[in-house]
Amino acid sequence: MPRAPGAPEGEGHVLALVTDVQAGKSAVYVWDAARLGEGPLARALLPHASPRTFHGVFLPAHGG
């Protein structure tokens, strides 16, 4: 995901959906695309395990 509109190639963030099948939980991790080796910048825990999918999952709005 680009850091900003028009940002140079490689200047942005990498997002990944990670599921722990044994724990039944999922999270979205965010890395700085230029500093992947430094580990994730953030982790957003999901209130459920995300089903396996190729394209994505649409969820209802939560708390809003």
Q: Where are the domains of the chain?
A: 13-45
- The answer to whether residues 17 and 50 touch, using CB atoms and an 8 Å cutoff, is yes
Per the listing, tokens 């695309």 go with: 33
Q: Annotated binding site for Fe cation: which residue ranges? A: 55
Task: Give the amino acid at 40.
Answer: P
pLDDT string in tens for the chain (64-residue length)? 778 788 888 889 999 998 888 888 999 999 999 999 999 999 999 988 887 766 666 667 766 5
- The two three-digit tokens of residue 47, written as one number: 């209130």
- Rounded Cα distance between 34 and 13, Å, is 8
User: What is the number of other CB atoms lying within 10 angstroms of the CB of residue 60?
Assistant: 5
Q: Annotated binding site: which residue ranges? A: 55
Q: Is 20 exposed, middle or buried (0-12, 13-18, 19+ CB in 10 A)?
A: exposed
